[in-house]
Structure 1
Amino acid sequence: MLLLAVDTATDQGSLALVEEDRVLGEFSLSAAGSYLKFLLPGIETLLTQTGRRLEEVEALAVSQGPGNFTGLRIGLATVQGLAWALNIPVAAVSTLEVLAAQLPFHPHPVGVLIDAKRREVYLGRYLCPEDQPQALEAPERLPLEALAARLSPPLTLTGPGLSAYEQFLRAELGPDVHFAPPEKRFPLASTLARLARGRLTEGKAVPPQALLPLYLRPAL
């Protein structure tokens, strides 16, 4: 299965083209450059670099958030349009789950944080004993000051939310909370593709018209 994965949920987006379990190509996109301007050209560049044509893509994967409101809208709308045009299946995966999956075979629970702005965060808590994260609870949006009460060590934190709040969290949570290395804190489209492939194999494709962002709060 040739699968195109699109992640525009955070300020550092990602595209990947994956065939079965082999990553043919992957690169990052920056929200600062506007996903609206660069997403479709990025897909064209990825296909050119890998020597594939759009018509060869057999499935799509998209990160559904939570995260950047504008980025989510652009990514979902692009994948929705491609799914209709190519008549191929789509899998949607939580951005929190993608980030947790980047810490496979992890000995401690994993807390994933994405900045929700206004000193709030999106939180997902997972067990990652293998390469498929297991959610401990539904994701939620919390004020930063309430976060410590929701996290119990031993624990490893990851996600782009650490960029803004790592110093505060280290002071609040103490030495028994670990922090993922910087290269693991942004979602990779290749990780998204791996999780999506599992969903598609299980028959869990999402109809294009049912692709919806996971905001966890009303978009402004």
Structure 2
Amino acid sequence: MTSPERSNEDQDDSATSVAAIESQKENIVPLPQGRSASQLSSLLQFASPARHARLAERHAEFAREVEGAADLDDPLEVHYRYVRWIQDNYPQGQSAESNLLPVLERLTRSFRQDRRYRNDPRYIRCWILYAQNISDPNVVFEYMQVNDLGQDLAAYYEEYSIHLEEIGRINKADELYRIGIERKVEPLNRLRRRYKEFLLRHTDSPED
């Protein structure tokens, strides 16, 4: 049995969706889990006053939740949920409307002295996201190292090494991968795999 042909209206909607994504793709910040085309299209096409009002209302709700988070067993959870919500609803990332950077600044600052979260993957993801949204990520990565934040997690070594590789500090990136492997950070197999990929890219690279 053949599938019914799509109507012209459906085809027009699909074309509009693709056009909306294509026109904004350079501004869309990728997520580790990816984004669906339908979700992206919806977010990019329907920036109506009503939607802006709903988003502003949700920001206010999260702000109230964050204010009361200190009394929770896991106060980081509310902050982290807020960050994830921003990522889901603002595919362009940091902007005056998304408020991503101030939210990350508050989250990272709030739990700096809380030993529970020093190697919590959620907390470290937010530090890394913060680093990716400022002009000099080295400042954040070095702060994390000095303050023993994320030093048992592969993500720290992977993301810092990627940044170092991007700015041409190949030897430093190589050293960082090896430190993480020697420390047997988790997940270790993933870090080893990323290091092998790095070595394949730079087998004949000159030293930095």
TM-score, with structure 2 as normaliser: 0.25
| Greater strand content | 1
Larger relative contact order (Cα-Cα within 8 Å, sequence gap ≥ 6): 1
> Which structure would you say has the larger Rg?
2
